[in-house]
Amino acid sequence: MGFLTNRKALVVGVASNRSIAWGVAKAMHEQGAEIALTYQTEKLKARVEQCSQACGGGPVMPLDVTDDAQIEAVFKELESTWGHLDILVHAVGFAPREELEGSFVDNTTRGGYAMAHDISAYSFLALARGARPLMQGRNASLLTLTYLGGERALPNYNVMGPAKASLEASVRYMANDLGPEGIRVNAVSAGPIRTLAASGIGDFRKMLDYNAASAPMRRNVDIDEVGNASAFLCSELASGITGEVVHVDGGFHAVALSSSMLDSQ
């Protein structure tokens, strides 16, 4: 028996079998959870349905997180099919591609800033509000995906940095609000992984190489490692953890200067 047996999980953010959300859905399913998935656009529907079949064939629903009516419809559907919800995973992020390169000061527009924060940060709160009534009395768990660019400045990540900082602050405020109801709220800060969203970030290939060379583990992480940590955080094994940002990045966040950088001088 897995440590998520009989748990019901909604995983938002599968776009392909490279998506971090897919790594999370697979890991949770392996631990016994039933999985519901959503797709952002009709173009992604068939691919997400295939992923759903590969992890038990649970509910699959349309969801653009900027649309409150769609958010409401997702939780109505889950209420009628499952009756309750134990886990919500938010693995969604977006900023206009032209704002993810060059100067943060020059290239960030008012509209791009608002959009990045709406889709990448506010949506976690909006989904939590929908999930909350279905999570009462279930020791439920909310989880989001973030990146080190929310804590430190780095090239090209630009407007996504403030959006992730906002998301991480939201994790703490949500944990404080929902803790009395037994609902825990955490984030996984993943190291760089080649996905559709990541391909929009300028010089991403170089970032991957730099991370692999300088992380204590001297390699990058994959979606299965992020998935396993996420499954743990949403399980009773992590019953004392809330308001936390857990780094799954081979230790990259922990070092200021890697010995590999000195060796190469």
Catalytic positions: 147, 157
The residue ranges that bind ligand NAD (CB under 6 A) are 13-16, 19-21, 40, 63-66, 91-94, 119, 145-147, 190, 192-193, 195-198
Q: Which is nearer to ligand NAD, 33 or 187 (CB)?
A: 187
| Residue entry with tokens 């938010």 | 90
Distances in whole angstroms, Cα of residue 42 to Cα of each of 2, 137, 204: 33, 35, 28
Half-sphere exposure of 163 (CA within 13 A, CB side): 30
Q: How far is the CB of 77 from ligand NAD (least distance, A)?
A: 16
CA distance 170 to 121: 8
Q: Which is nearer to ligand NAD, 175 or 187 (CB)?
A: 187
Q: Which is nearer to ligand NAD, 136 or 196 (CB)?
A: 196
Q: How far is the CB of 94 from ligand NAD (least distance, A)?
A: 4
CA distance 201 to 98: 9
In this structure, how many other beta carbons lie within 10 angstroms of the beta carbon of residue 125? 18
* CA 30 to chain CA mean position, Å: 19
Q: How far is the CB of 55 from ligand NAD (least distance, A)?
A: 15
Note the maximum CA span of the chain: 62
The DSSP output letter for 191 is P
**Per-residue tokens: 222:** 């994959």
Q: Which is nearer to ligand NAD, 1 or 153 (CB)?
A: 153
Q: How far is the CB of 176 from ligand NAD (least distance, A)?
A: 22
**Per-residue tokens: 90:** 């938010």
Q: How far is the CB of 181 from ligand NAD (least distance, A)?
A: 25
**Per-residue tokens: 114:** 């608002």
Q: Which is nearer to ligand NAD, 32 or 224 (CB)?
A: 224
